[in-house]
Amino acid sequence: MYELLTDLAAWLTGAEQWTGPDGIAHRLAEHLEYSLLATLVAAAIALPVGLLIGHTGKGAFVAVNLASFGRALPTVGLVVLVFLASGLSMWPVYIALVALAVPAIVTNTYAGMSAVAPEVKDAAYGQGMRGHQVLFQVELPLALPLIMTGLRLALIQVVATATIAAYVSFGGLGRYVFDGLAQRDLVQVLGGAVLVALVAVVLDLALTTVQRIVFRHRPA
């Protein structure tokens, strides 16, 4: 075990491991590109849906159950299926990652909107606000902490799952995992897994810190 950890440390800190198209820096940039783009697309899809059903109260059952169905999708199977159907392009990776991120954003957005007290909304309407004003000036600000939590959870899930890009011969940190398995190189496999875990942890801590700073003056 000590020898394995020593080899792993040498692999992670070796200067040659950080340069070139197969270096950690390049693979990290690819991994972040997949993850951030997929999360942004998922947010563009899921936020309006969550806000709409939370504001109107209509379609909640269907939306929440579809979100649960999305969580149950086998991500690798979805990637392979769309990969073969799309003519061996990069789109299946993004489709799978977006499908993974949407449920967390939809459910947390809906939960945040539903948590707004009815009397607060009634008071806003009583002051003459219209529906869209109540949505954007009352409900959305109050629901924002839960919405941001959903975005954070979605991003971390996507980062952890973006290793599947390497399964269909693309880049990212998953390249080390799949190449290491093919070459029976345990150090490379562990190195890739550690890097993915570190990226997920760092992003989680960073987003949690930002969330606390933004909402530290808000009432509990």
Per-residue pLDDT, 114: 86
- Side-chain-side CA neighbours of 4 within 13 Å: the count stands at 8
Whole-angstrom Cα distance, residue 53 to residue 36?
Answer: 25
Residues 6 or more apart whose CB falls under 8 angstroms from that of 54 comprise: 60, 109, 110, 112, 113, 114, 139, 143
Q: What is the mean pLDDT of the chain?
A: 83
Cβ 143 vs Cβ 105: under 8 Å: no
Per-residue pLDDT, 73: 62
Architecture of domain 2-214: Orthogonal Bundle (1.10)
Q: Among candidates 25, 165, 145, which has minimal Cα distance to 96?
A: 165
Whole-angstrom Cα distance, residue 163 to residue 169?
Answer: 11
Question: 32: pLDDT confidence band, cut at 50, 70 and 90?
Answer: very high
Per-residue pLDDT, 220: 46
Per-residue pLDDT, 28: 94
Specify the range with the lowest mean pLDDT, choosing from 23-27, 157-161, 215-219: 215-219
What are the extents of the domains in the chain? Answer: 2-214
Q: Is the pLDDT of residue 1 over 90?
A: no
Per-residue pLDDT, 72: 63
Single pTM value for the model:
0.83
Rounded to the nearest 10 degrees, what angle do helices 186-215 and 174-183 cross at? 160
Q: Is the pLDDT of residue 60 over 90?
A: no
Number of residues that make up the chain? 220
Q: Is the pLDDT of residue 198 over 80?
A: yes
Whole-angstrom Cα distance, residue 41 to residue 179?
Answer: 29
